Structure formats: C-alpha cells, structure tokens
C-alpha cells in the first residue's frame, strides 16, 4: 500500500507535519459532524498526522521483532556496521526479511545506515550508536527500554475485548494479558531499579537504610515478578522482605526467581490468601507503579497504614501526572501514549471489579496522592528529589 497516496499526498513529496492545533485553527464548524467547507491543505496535514500515528504503531511492531529476534543484540555485538546479509547470518535469519526490517528501522532513525555508492548496486551497512545500544540491546543498562515492546502483542490483543469493556464499564485484570506481560514488566522496571533503588532512592528516606541494615521488616505491594523484593533482600540480608500481588502469573515468576537466588529472607504471597499484616509490624512498605492500577487504591492505602509501625515509611512510586487533562497534554510529551496505554491496560485493570476507582495511568497526581494518603491516616507527605523520566517518588509517613 502506498501510504502517501492513501493519505492524500503526491508520491515522493515530503510533507512537513505542523501542530494540528495551529493547522486547524481556522477551520469552520470544528466539532460538528458536517463541516460546510474543507481546506485542502489542512485536510492533507490532518491525514498526514493520522498516518504518522500508524507509522509509530507499525514501527513499534518492528521494534518488538528486533528485540525478539536478537537483531539489536547482533548489531550491538558487531565491531563494525553490518550489511543485511551479515546481520542475518549473525542472527541466523533470512537475509531478505532482515533487509526490509533494517530499512524500516533506518527510515525511522532508530538505527544508523551508511550507504556505499558504486559498482552494480549500492551497499548498505547498519549499526547502533552507543546510546541506541544502551536503549535497545543492553539489558544491564538503566536506560534499557524493551520491556513495553516485549509485551506489545499481548497489550494490543486487548483491542479484541475492549469494545465490550466500553459498553459494560468492566475492564480486565493484569493476568488477562498473559505471561509475556509479566516478562515485559520485569524488563521495563528492573534495569533502573538495579542502578538506583538501593544507592540513590533509599538514602532519601529518613532512617530506612539504618533500619534495614539493622534488621527490619518490609513489604512490596504489587510486587510483580519480585525484582524489588529480591534486590532489597540481597542488599539487606538482616531484614525480611515480603512481596504481595494478586497476579498468579507474576507470583509464579517471583517464586521461580526466588529459588534461583536461594534467598531465605524473602517471600511472596497472594494478597487474597495471605493479606498484608495489619499489626503495625512493618518498617517499610513500597509500591512501584501499581496504585493507579488498583480497583480500590484508597482501601489499599488504609491497609498500608495499618501495616506500618508508627515510625514506618511508605515509599510510593507512581507515574508523573498533573491534576487535569490540559496540564498533562501541555507538559507531558508522552501524554497521548499514556492515555492510550491506560485504556489498553491500566484503566482496564483499575475497572476490573464493579465499582473500581478507575484512576488510570495519569490518575495519581501529587495532589490526589497526598489527599488520599491523608484520608488513609498518614500525616506526612514529601516528594523526593529523585530524577526519573516517567515516575515520581514520595515519602509518606504516619
């Protein structure tokens, strides 16, 4: 399909995408189902805007394939740029498919291409920069970003059931996305946590490092595949760490990893069977990117307060968000993606029970989080000076 022609552009003519709010500022009857006049240039720009979204979705699928097939890792491991044939051989794949994939990635400016002109045909060689290798291929680097792309097919599968969710109001829980979502979440969050949680985040919490060093008790709610629990259990062997979740798939993976590590001071629990203690016995509770997904976040905050000692600490980590749509749209360049991910996953989880709160991905602004924490019985709320591209970090205490 010739996308340019389908979008109303003459073949071969590049179009500069303008801010749609500017390009449509003179439109008549905006918001009406029948516009009496159509400006041809404005129409073409809008069609280009629409197809630019399709380009992003298609390229995201190619990123998933590049990660799944080891193409990025092969490029990163090569000491020199590679022809499609060399890349295909390194990844044990078919050259023609690899060449088309590489053209997509180079056209999207995700990988580098150099063209040697001469002879019977041009020779193209492809490579990663050190920065793109960190993001695309190096799972040990804090900037590694393949987690969301890993689970992309399962996330997009939700489109099949979402029409009924829109009609009924009832969403789907985390496990509805299958085990690859567990693996994707693991790959999304753990690189940064390994680099910064123990060394940079915990020292910002008053008394927490001393308590954990001396032998404290901590819990991670929404523990997923157990990365934070295992990381902290290794760093503070005198303390005990319990992970709680309601995802059977995530808990299975966490138990598997616990056996691999051989740790005796960590454990994992189905919160519906073995709930968080309510006796004020915990020194630290952590929640990483999960409160906005919960059907009853206010109730969970009350349970966290009951679990914590009077001098305990709750480390709340959640998506950076503003109070209103207008603020999110103006200040967050990824707002449209996050609202879409919310429909596909976060909001769906938050509405997976009747009467779910439905916060969604951008639903927990600092003001909302503080108001809910105080309603749950906490008296101190502080935003931590932690630099993270997506998340905000809060110290909350009784």
Q: pLDDT tier at 121 (50, 70, 90 boundaries)?
A: confident
What are the backbone angles phi and psi of residue 186, rounded to the nearest 5°? -60, -45
Cα 72 from chain centre? 20
Q: pLDDT tier at 35 (50, 70, 90 boundaries)?
A: low
Which of 269, 232, 230 has its CA nearest to residue 247? Answer: 269
Interatomic CA distance for residues 132 and 138, integer angstroms: 9
Pairwise pLDDT comparison (172 vs 18), residue with the higher score: 172
Interatomic CA distance for residues 42 and 6, integer angstroms: 16
Cα–Cα distances (Å) from 70 to 77, 82, 126, 136, 145, in that order, read 11, 14, 15, 10, 15
Burial (Cβ within 10 Å: 0-12, 13-18, ≥19) of residue 38? exposed
Q: pLDDT tier at 15 (50, 70, 90 boundaries)?
A: very low
Write the pLDDT tens digit of every residue in 219-244.
999 999 999 999 999 999 999 999 99
Interatomic CA distance for residues 265 and 238, integer angstroms: 8
CA gyration radius, the chain: 24
- Spell out the residues 6+ positions from residue 222 whose beta carbon is closer than 8 angstroms to its own: 244, 245, 287, 288, 289, 290, 291, 293, 294
Both structure tokens of 176: 């509805």
pLDDT of 9 over the 50 cut: no
Write the pLDDT tens digit of every residue in 49-108.
999 999 999 999 999 999 999 999 999 999 999 999 999 999 999 999 999 999 999 999
What are the backbone angles phi and psi of residue 256, rounded to the nearest 5°? -60, -45
Q: Where are the beta strands (DSSP E) in 300-383?
A: 308-319, 380-383
**Number of CB atoms found within 10 A of residue 170's CB:** 13
| 3-state DSSP assignment of residue 371 | helix
Tokens 């259990």, located at residue = 233
State the pLDDT at residue 120: 75
Instruction: Judge if pTM exceeds 0.85.
Output: yes
pLDDT of 23 over the 60 cut: no
pLDDT of 197 over the 80 cut: yes
What are the backbone angles phi and psi of residue 332, rounded to the nearest 5°? -115, 110
Which of 194, 270, 182, 279 has its CA nearest to residue 228? Answer: 194
* Angle 272-273-278 from CA coordinates, rounded to 5°: 80
List, in order of start, the domains of the chain with CATH numbers. Answer: 3-136 (1.10.10.10), 147-397 (3.40.50.150)
Which of 241, 201, 202, 243 has its CA nearest to residue 222? Answer: 243
Average pLDDT over residues 194-216: 97
């Amino acid at each position: 399909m010739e996308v340019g022609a389908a979008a109303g552009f003459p073949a071969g003519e590049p179009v500069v995408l303008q801010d749609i709010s500017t390009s449509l500022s003179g439109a008549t009857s905006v918001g009406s189902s029948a516009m009496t006049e159509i400006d041809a240039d404005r129409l073409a720009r809008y069609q280009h805007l629409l197809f630019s979204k399709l380009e992003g979705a298609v390229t995201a699928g190619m990123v998933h394939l590049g990660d799944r097939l080891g193409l990025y890792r092969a490029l990163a491991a090569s000491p020199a740029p590679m022809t499609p044939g060399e890349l295909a051989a390194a990844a044990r794949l078919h050259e023609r498919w690899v060449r088309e994939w590489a053209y997509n990635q180079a056209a999207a400016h995700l990988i580098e291409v150099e063209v040697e002109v001469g002879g019977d045909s041009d020779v193209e060689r492809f490579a990663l920069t050190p920065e793109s290798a960190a993001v695309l291929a190096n799972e040990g680097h804090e900037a590694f970003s393949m987690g969301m792309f890993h689970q992309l097919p399962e996330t997009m599968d939700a489109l099949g059931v979402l029409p009924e969710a829109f009609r009924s109001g009832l969403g789907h829980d985390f496990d509805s996305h299958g085990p690859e979502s567990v693996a994707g979440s693991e790959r999304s969050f753990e690189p940064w946590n390994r680099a910064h949680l123990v060394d940079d985040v915990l020292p910002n919490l008053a008394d927490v490092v001393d308590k954990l060093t001396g032998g404290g008790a901590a819990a991670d709610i929404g523990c997923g595949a157990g990365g934070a629990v295992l990381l902290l259990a290794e760093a503070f062997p005198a303390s005990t760490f319990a992970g709680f979740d309601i995802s059977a798939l995530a808990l299975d993976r966490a138990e598997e990893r616990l056996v691999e590590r051989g740790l005796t001071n960590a454990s994992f629990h189905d919160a519906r069977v073995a709930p968080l203690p309510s006796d004020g016995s915990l020194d630290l509770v952590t929640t990483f990117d999960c409160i906005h997904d919960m059907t009853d976040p206010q109730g969970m905050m009350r349970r966290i307060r009951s679990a914590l000692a009077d001098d305990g600490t709750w480390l709340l980590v959640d998506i950076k968000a503003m109070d209103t749509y207008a603020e999110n749209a103006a200040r967050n360049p990824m707002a449209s993606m996050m609202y879409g991910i919310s429909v596909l996953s976060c909001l769906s989880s938050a509405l997976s029970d009747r009467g779910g709160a439905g916060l969604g991905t951008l639903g927990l602004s600092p003001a909302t989080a503080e108001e809910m924490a105080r309603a749950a019985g906490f008296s101190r709320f502080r935003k931590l000076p932690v630099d993270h591209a997506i998340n905000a970090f809060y110290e909350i205490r009784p």
